[in-house]
């Protein structure tokens, strides 16, 4: 896999309830961090989208937990699109320690654009594809 350059980083404030009885962030909490990263990424890259009509849904997600996160850690979620298809795109995200740049977890998702009124998948718009490719500074379309 080629090296991903992350242009989007979102600092995360850890909450008291993110930490479990073992003193580290519970594995289920990471997915809420990734959701925050996705939300902020698309608000930055594709502003003006009518989220009442068009959305994106997760159709596949996997995570590799590399290192524990503790309550005293300073973390951020980095987000990048790695590939764009007709109706779907691949998202790479990772949680890093902002003090050491140590990778804590890596997440890979397949996202599908979705018509919220008709309840069916729809093709990515030309505007979305162009905006994502411009933001990522490369052509991500599958050939």
Residues of the chain with pLDDT under 50: 1
Tens digits of per-residue pLDDT, 37-66? 999 999 999 988 887 778 899 999 999 999
Cα gap 6→16, rounded to integer Å: 28
What was the pLDDT predicted at 143? Answer: 57
| Residues contacting residue 30 through CB under 8 Å, at least 6 positions apart | 63, 65, 95, 105, 107
């Amino acid at each position: 896999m080629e090296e991903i350059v992350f242009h989007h980083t979102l600092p995360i404030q850890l909450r008291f309830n993110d930490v479990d009885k073992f003193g580290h962030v519970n594995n289920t909490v990471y997915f809420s961090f990734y959701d925050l990263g996705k939300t902020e990424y698309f608000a930055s890259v594709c502003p003006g989208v009518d989220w009442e009509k068009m959305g994106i849904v997760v159709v596949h997600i996997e995570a590799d937990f590399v290192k524990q996160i503790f309550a005293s850690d300073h973390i951020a979620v980095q987000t990048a699109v790695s590939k764009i298809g007709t109706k779907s795109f691949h998202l790479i995200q990772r949680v890093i320690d902002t003090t050491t740049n140590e990778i804590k977890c890596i997440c890979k998702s397949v996202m599908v654009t979705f018509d919220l009124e008709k309840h069916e998948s729809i093709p990515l718009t030309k505007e979305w594809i162009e905006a994502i490719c411009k933001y990522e500074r490369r052509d991500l379309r599958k050939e």
